[in-house]
Amino acid sequence: MSEKLQTLIIEDEELARNLLRSYLKDHPDIEIIGECENGFDGVKAINENKPDLVFLDIQMPKITGFEMIELLDYKPQIIFTTAYDQYALKAFELNAVDYLLKPFSKDRLLAAIEKVKHRILNEEDNTEKLEELSNFRPGEDFIDRVVVKDRHKIHIITVDQIRYIESLDDYVMIYTNDGRHMKQKTMKYFETYLDPKNFIRIHRSYIVQVDNIAEIQQYEKEAYIVILKDKDKTKLKVSKTGYKKIKEVLHF
Amino acid sequence: MKHPLTNNYRLLGFYAIFWATIGTINLVLQLLWYNVPLSYSLLDTGTNYVLYPLLGSSIWYSIRYSNLEEVSIGRLIIFHLIAASILCGIWVYISYAIYKPFVKDNDFLNNGLPPKIFLGYIMYVIYLVFFYAVNYYESLKEKIKKESEYKALIREAELQALKSQINPHFLFNSLNSISSLTVSNPEKAQEMVINLSSLMRYSLMHNQKEMVSFSRELENIKLYLGIEKVRFGKKLNAEFEIDAHCLEAEIPNMILQPIYENAIKYGVYETTDQVTIKTCCMCDGNILKINIVNDYDASTIKRRGEGIGLRNIRKRMEIIYNNPDLIKITDNKTSFEVQLVIPQKQAVS
C-alpha cells in the first residue's frame, strides 16, 4: 500500500484513547487524522473527513457506536472496540468488521489492521454487513430511542415521543410532536423492536402509538380508520389484522 | 429408616407399658374370674403378651419392605398372610416348647391350640396397623423436615443470586484503563490495581457475611467511585453528606453498589457533561435513611424506572426485613433519586 490509512479514533474515555494512540504511534501504515470523544462529533468527522479506517467504541454518551453507523453517509472500514457486551458475538459472526475486546494487546490490534488492509486491497464492500449489524438488537429488549439526521443535525427521539410511523418504500417517516424525521429502516424493524403494548402495526404502512389514538371509526363494513389526537386530527387506514391487534391491546 | 422401637426410647417405653398393662389385666381376670391356676395363667400371659410383642416387633421389617403404594393389594395380602403364618408358627412352636415341662394336662394343650393360632393372626393384624401408622407418621415428619430444609436452601440461593456481582462491563473497562496507565503512569496503574483488588475482595467476602457496618459499605462505595473517577475524570463528581453517628449502623452488604452502578450507567455514560452523585444519610431512632441522587440527561434516554438492579435490591430487602416498601424511587426528569430505609436492631445514637 503506497498511502497511509487515514485513521480516526472515536472513544469517550481519555485513557482508552491514549492507549490506542500509543499502540498506533509507530505503525507505518496508519496516520491518525483525528480523535472524537462522542458519537455526535464522530458522525460529523466521518462524513466530513471520509477516513479509511475508524476505531469505534460502542458504549458512548449520547449515541452508541452502532447508532452512529445508521447515520453515516460514508461507510469507512470499522474496527469496534468494546469492553463487554452482547453485540460482540454477533459482530464476530458477521465477520463484517473486526472487534477488539478491551483490554487488548498490541499484537491483536496489529492483526486487526492487517485484516482491514487485506479487505481494502480486495475492495470488499462491508455496507450490507454493517447494516445488518445495526439492525441487530441483542436479547428481547425493546429500543428506547431512535437516532435520526436531518441535513446536518442529529436528533435523538425517545420512543415516547413517537406518535406514528409511516412507511415510504425503503424509508420510514417518524412523526413526533415537533415534526417528522425520515430514516432508512424497515417497518419490520420498528414492529419488532418497539414494545407492542405501546405501538401497534395497524396497517402495512402504519405503526401507531396507542396513547395517541383518539378514536376508531367504521366507514364501511369491516373497514376502519383511526383518528389521532393532534390538531389536524390525522386519519389513518386500519387493515383487518390491524383492527384485531387494536382490539387486543385496548381490550374492547 | 431405623426400627422405631430401638430408635425412639419413648415409643419403646410406651410399647412395653402397653403390653405389660394388657398382660396384667389378663392375668388378674384369669385368676379371679376364671379361677385358672397361677402357673397356667402366667404361662399364657407370658407367651401372649411378652413373647409375642418381642417376636412381633419384627413385623416392622415386613411393612418397611412392602410399601403400600408400590405393591398391588393381592400381592400385599399374600405377602402378609405368609409372614403372619411364619410368625405364628414360630410363636406357637416356642410357646408349646415352654408349656411342655410345666403342663401335664393334654386337654389344655390340645383345646388351647386353635384359639392360640387364631390369636396369633389377630395380633399380627393389630401390629400391622400399629406399624403402618408409625411408618406413616415418621415419613410425614421426615417430609416436613426435608421441605423446610429445602425452603431454607432456596431462600439462601435466592439471596445469593440477588447480591450484586462485579459488573463485567465495569471490570473490563477498568482493566483497560489500567492497561493504558501502565504505559503513561505506572504508579497510578499500580494504585488502581490495588483498589480494584480491594473492591473485588469485598465483593467476594460478602458471600460469608450478610450484614456489615455502614462505614465498611461506604468505604467500598468510595473505592468503587474512585476507580470510576479514573476512567471518567471530571465527568464524575461524587458528594457525601453523612451523619457521623450513622456509620455504626448495620446494613446488608453490597446493597448500595447497584444503585451507584446505575447512576454511572444512566448518568455518567450517557452524557458529555459533569454528573454529580450525591449521597445523604441520616439516622432516626431505629432506622437508617440513605438518599442517593444523580442527575441525568433526559434528552438521550427514557428511564424505565425500576431496572433489574433496583428490583433485586427491593427483593433482597424484602427477604431480609420482610417488608417490600423499604426502597423508594423517584424520577424528577433531570435527576434520579433512590431512597433506602434500613431498619436497625438497636437504636443508633
Q: What are the tens digits of pLDDT across the range B126-141?
A: 888 888 888 888 889 8
Q: Are strands A179-183 and A162-168 parallel, antiparallel or unpaired?
A: unpaired
Tell me whether B270 touches chain A (CB under 8 Å).
Answer: yes
Mean residue pLDDT across chain B? 85
In sign, the C-alpha dihedral spanning B236, B241, B245, B251 is negative
Task: Assess if residue A140 is contained within a domain.
Answer: no
Contact A62 B300 (CB under 8 A): yes
Question: Where do the domains of chain B lie?
Answer: 4-161, 163-343
Q: CB B244: neighbour CB atoms within 10 A? A: 8
Give residue A15's pLDDT.
94
Q: Are strands A179-183 and A171-176 parallel, antiparallel or unpaired?
A: antiparallel
Q: CB B185: neighbour CB atoms within 10 A? A: 15
Among candidate residues A81, A102, A135, the one where a domain is terminated: A135
A190 shares its domain with A218: yes
CA distance B247 to B154: 32
Contact A158 B301 (CB under 8 A): yes
Q: What is the ipTM of this complex?
A: 0.79
pLDDT above 60 for A7: yes
Task: Assess if residue A172 is contained within a domain.
Answer: yes
Give residue A92's pLDDT.
62
Contact A62 B179 (CB under 8 A): no
Q: Which residue has the higher pLDDT, B212 or B112?
A: B212
A155 shares its domain with A242: yes
A36 shares its domain with A97: yes
Q: What is the CATH number of the domain that holds A65?
A: 3.40.50.2300
For A11-20, A93-102, B332-341, which range has the lowest pLDDT when averaged over its residues? A93-102
Task: Assess if residue A196 is contained within a domain.
Answer: yes
Minimal C-alpha gap between A217 and chain B (Å): 32
Chain A partners within 8 Å of B271 (Cβ) = 61-62
Tell me whether A110 touches chain B (CB under 8 Å).
Answer: no
Of chain A residues 176-235, which have a CB less than 8 A from chain B? none
Helix, strand, or coil (residue B139): helix
A68 shares its domain with A128: yes
The whole-model pTM stands at 0.67
Interval B280-296 mean pLDDT:
91
Tell me whether A145 touches chain B (CB under 8 Å).
Answer: yes
Confidence of residue B195 (pLDDT cuts 50, 70, 90): very high
Chain B partners within 8 Å of A58 (Cβ) = none
A155 shares its domain with A212: yes
pLDDT above 70 for A194: yes
Q: Mention every residue, 6+ apart, whose C-beta is less than 8 A from residue A73.
A: A47
Among candidate residues A83, A113, A135, the one where a domain is terminated: A135
Q: Which residue has the higher pLDDT, B165 or B125?
A: B125
Tell me whether A33 touches chain B (CB under 8 Å).
Answer: no
pLDDT above 70 for B293: yes
A153 shares its domain with A124: no
Task: For residue A40, give its domain range.
Answer: 5-135
pLDDT above 80 for B333: yes
Q: How far is CA B131 from CA A42, A209, B15, B62, B144, in A?
A: 82, 70, 12, 10, 20
Cβ-nearest to B175 among A59, A103, A159: A103
Of chain B residues 127-146, which have a CB less than 8 A from chain A? none
Contact B183 A18 (CB under 8 A): yes
Give residue A208's pLDDT.
95
Minimal C-alpha gap between A37 and chain B (Å): 9
Segment holding B311, helix H or strand E: helix B308-321
Measuring CA to CA, which residue among B302, B296, B269, B297 is closest to residue A194? Answer: B302
Q: Are A213 and A228 in contact (CB under 8 A)?
A: yes
Minimal C-alpha gap between B192 and chain A (Å): 13
Q: How far is CA A233 from CA A38, A204, A230, in A?
A: 39, 20, 5
Confidence of residue B163 (pLDDT cuts 50, 70, 90): low
A129 shares its domain with A10: yes
Cβ-nearest to B169 among A37, A84, A145: A84
B163-343 has which CATH code?
Answer: 3.30.565.10
- Best of B300, B303, B308 to disrupt the A interface by mutation (most A CBs within 10 Å)? B300
CA distance B30 to B191: 97
Measuring CA to CA, which residue among B181, B300, B279, B197 is closest to residue B233? Answer: B181
**Number of domains chain A is built from:** 2
Helix, strand, or coil (residue A233): coil
Q: What is the CATH number of the domain that holds A210?
A: 2.40.50.1020
Interface size, chain A vs chain B, as Cβ–Cβ contacts under 8 Å: 77
Task: Assess if residue A108 is contained within a domain.
Answer: yes
Type of residue found at B126:
I
Q: Which residue has the higher pLDDT, B148 or A7?
A: A7
Give residue B187's pLDDT.
94
For A100, name the nearest residue in chain B, comparing CA atoms only: B176
Contact B176 A102 (CB under 8 A): yes
For A103, name the nearest residue in chain B, comparing CA atoms only: B176
Predicted confidence (pLDDT) per residue in A12-44, tens digit? 999 999 999 999 999 999 999 999 999 999 999
